[in-house]
Amino acid sequence: MAAPQESKFEDYVVRTRKLTKIYTMGGQALRALDDVDLDIKRGEYISIMGPSGSGKSTLFNMVGGLDKPTDGTVFINETDMAQLDAAELAWIRCRTVGYIFQTFNLIPVMTALENITLPMVFAGLSTDEQLERGRALLERVGLGDRLHHRPSELSGGQQQRVAIARALANDPDIILADEPTANLDLRTGKEIIELLREMNKERGVTVISATHDLHMIDISDRVVWVRDGRIEKIEERAQVDVEVGRVDWEEQHGAPT
Amino acid sequence: MSHGESWKVGKVHLPFRVALQISWRSIQVRFGRAMITAAGTCLGIAFLVTVWTSIALQRGLATEPDEAVAMRQSWLVIMSLLVSAVGISNSMFMAVTERYKEIGTMKCLGAVDRFVVELFLIESGMLGGVGAVIGGVVGFLIVVLFSIAKKQWSAVVGMDWAYMGSYFVLAILIGIGISVLAALLPATRAAKLPPAAALRSDV
């Protein structure tokens, strides 16, 4: 494990070098990722975009520590992920990365507060600390009055808010969001994106999002376009050329039913 | 979380008290399914306890137990407990399949494989305990009520209570033990699910 420098903490929270992932299906080798180099700065809001089968999900899994590459390296906080054993990887997922899913993935048997404090349990926080931080987080996402509700008693948007609070439970360096707005209606989706952007600015947490949602592009610092296992292009927000027709139509005429 | 100099990888924890709580909750929320799983243990232990209660009665009457009958009964009891175990295993395997997303999510929150195994074994042990207690009481009552119906009240009162007491406790422990063992394979299967299982939209 590389030791971090004293003078500054790494500018790049995630770096990949020659990242390659090959799946063998029925005797055929599928190059899901081909020699990908990507540097993500601390505090950035990055969207990874691409069609199905482009390798977007695979890249997402790699930078989030959810899967191991066939070749190449992933550095999170300058730590080579391949050098970590299972327990250390679990620690990274607990403390360094917070995950947000398309299907919210809250534990159904637990209340909102319990869902949020579960990662804190794994991190070894005391019960008092858990309750204090948990309450504060739920209030920050606007659910201070729903501490003891189960996911079944919450709307989709509320569940995703709980999920965001949970992702922030251990003050992570990275939030990894997989299609966070795909199961939400247009207005709720915008609220969630807005909340993510606020968290990004307030806490300096790097947000990496895999998404189809064009509204996400509006607030991203950079957009990484993936196609056929390679990075097609990386655009700074100012450069992004979103098809005016499609986005403006929704703004003026409402979302399609 | 502080950055820079103090950043180094540590360990994750699951206090036993919390594991118990999570397992108990899982049972509460899927109560119907849990009861069916427990019923397996319940029936097996009920049968076991009927055999042992009969023996306690016979000992009270200072009757010599019939060797051949005892052998046959032992064989039947073992078979019935095996059937219970298979049923529990099946139930737990189904639970793993249904909960793949929950397990994947827990791993994303920082759970290691051992936590997942622990949660499944505790849950199965709890169900085994509940099933065994209910089964034990049912088995005991069946034999006792039968004797009373045959007007053998004195035999019931005079049964070897010391024998009965210790073997009842043994029956509970056997019930819990079988449940935990039967859940071992499903639990290790659950533990092997990758965190990325949380992202999949189907099994």
pLDDT tens string B91-135: 999 988 989 999 999 999 999 999 999 999 999 999 999 999 999
Mean pLDDT, all residues of chain A: 86
Q: What is the pLDDT confidence band of residue A242, given thresholds at 50, 70 and 90?
A: low
Nearest to A173 by CA among A82, A90, A77, A101: A77
Q: CB–CB of B14 and A86 under 8 A?
A: no
Q: Report the pLDDT value the prediction gives residue B73, as an integer from 0 to 100.
A: 84
Q: How far apart are the CA of B61 and the nearest CA of chain A, in angstroms?
A: 52
| Residue in chain B nearest A8 by alpha carbon | B4
Instruction: Find the helix or strand (DSSP H, E) in which B124 lies.
Output: helix B113-149
ipTM of model: 0.85
Q: Report the pLDDT value the prediction gives residue B66, as an integer from 0 to 100.
A: 76
Calpha distance B100→B97 (Å, rounded):
6
Q: Report the pLDDT value the prediction gives residue A246, as an integer from 0 to 100.
A: 47
The strands making up A12-25's β-sheet, listed across from edge to edge, are A28-41, A12-25, A71-76, A79-80
Mean pLDDT of A6-13: 64
Q: CB–CB of B111 and A108 under 8 A?
A: no
Which of B5, B7, B112 is nearest residue A87 as measured by Cβ atoms? Answer: B112
Pick from A19-33, A97-111, A122-136, B147-161: least confident: B147-161
- The first and second tokens of residue A238, run together, are 């100012």
Q: Report the pLDDT value the prediction gives residue A65, as an integer from 0 to 100.
A: 85
pTM attached to this predicted model: 0.84
Q: Best interface-test mutation with B: which of A8, A11, A42, A66 has the largest number of B CBs within 10 A?
A: A66
Helices (H) and strands (E) in chain B, counts: 8, 0
- On whether the CB atoms of residues B179 and B92 are closer than 8 A, the answer is no
Calpha distance A235→A221 (Å, rounded):
9
Nearest to B110 by CA among A168, A89, A130, A126: A89
Domains, chain A, ordered by start: 44-65+84-238 (3.40.50.300)
Q: CB–CB of A109 and B106 under 8 A?
A: no
- The first and second tokens of residue B147, run together, are 């004797």
- The first and second tokens of residue B184, run together, are 């071992």
**pLDDT < 70 positions in chain B:** 1-8, 201-203
Residue corresponding to tokens 């550095």? A75
Mean pLDDT of A153-157: 94
Cβ pairs A/B, distance under 8 A: 109
Q: Domain ranges in chain B? A: 38-198
Residue B186, exposed/middle/buried by CB under 10 A (0-12, 13-18, 19+)?
Answer: buried
